[in-house]
Amino acid sequence: MFSIYKKELQSFFYTPFAYALTALFLLLFTYMISGKIADLNDHIAYFSYTEVFYNVIIYFIFLIPIMTMRTFSDERKFGTEVLLMTSPVSVLKIVLAKFFANVTVFLFMIAGTVMYPILTEHYGSVVYSQLICAYIGFFFWGTMFICIGMLISSFSENSIIAAIVGEMIMFGFLFLDDFSNSGFISQYPKLQSVLYSFAAQPRFAYFSAGFIRLSDIVFFVSSILVLLSWTYISIEKRRWKRG
């Protein structure tokens, strides 16, 4: 398992791929912060890092599929999937190794944002309770989207198609709460309740407000486990087809 994890990390960090994604993410994060800095009359800028995280998610959705689209698609495209399928390593370990590699890159991207609260604390003050909760919520949400991207990648040998489909599904999750509150869906309370229960955005809103609820943690952890299980089933099915 560790050898596959190491191989995946090398594919990210021995090329400009991870650094380009991180630079783009930090550029978006910086753009969001600069947009929040206002009130030039008294030279005091009031903004919340939780709002920055909340707004950057919309743009972050474009980056996650780019990161995950190659997870399984490229293995199939370049013929290296045969080596994985015939290796003594179990499918579960393969899926987990690739999952942890993607999460490591995600953490590398998040780590670059730590400099902003440090600078803010030097020149002003930071509400650390909200900041920590926002980081936790953003990590859970990003990890869930990574699992979605990996699942889509396991279905297709075309990484571009995997990225496009992943984008569509992630945007669907992002606006699921708005859709469930639409006039048409509100006519069917039971359907509205079911759709809203799968919405991730309201749960992140509690994290961004500085609250950690057990139900929200259970939702994200359960979603991650279910999506990883589906990915495992998808790859295991392909292994059995290969005999």
- The model's pLDDT over 37-83, given as tens digits with 9 standing for 90+, comes to 654 455 445 556 667 777 777 777 888 888 888 788 777 766 666 66
Cα–Cα dist 149/163, whole Å: 7
Cα–Cα dist 50/44, whole Å: 18
What's this model's pTM, rounded to 2 decimal places?
0.86
Q: How far is CA 72 from the centre of its chain?
A: 17
Domain boundaries, the chain: 2-241
On the question of pLDDT at 106 being above 90, the answer is yes
- Give CA angle at 143 (225, 90), nearest 5°: 50
Exposed / middle / buried, residue 163 (Cβ in 10 Å: 0-12, 13-18, 19+):
buried
- The model's pLDDT over 142-161, given as tens digits with 9 standing for 90+, comes to 999 999 999 998 888 778 88
Cα–Cα dist 217/143, whole Å: 12
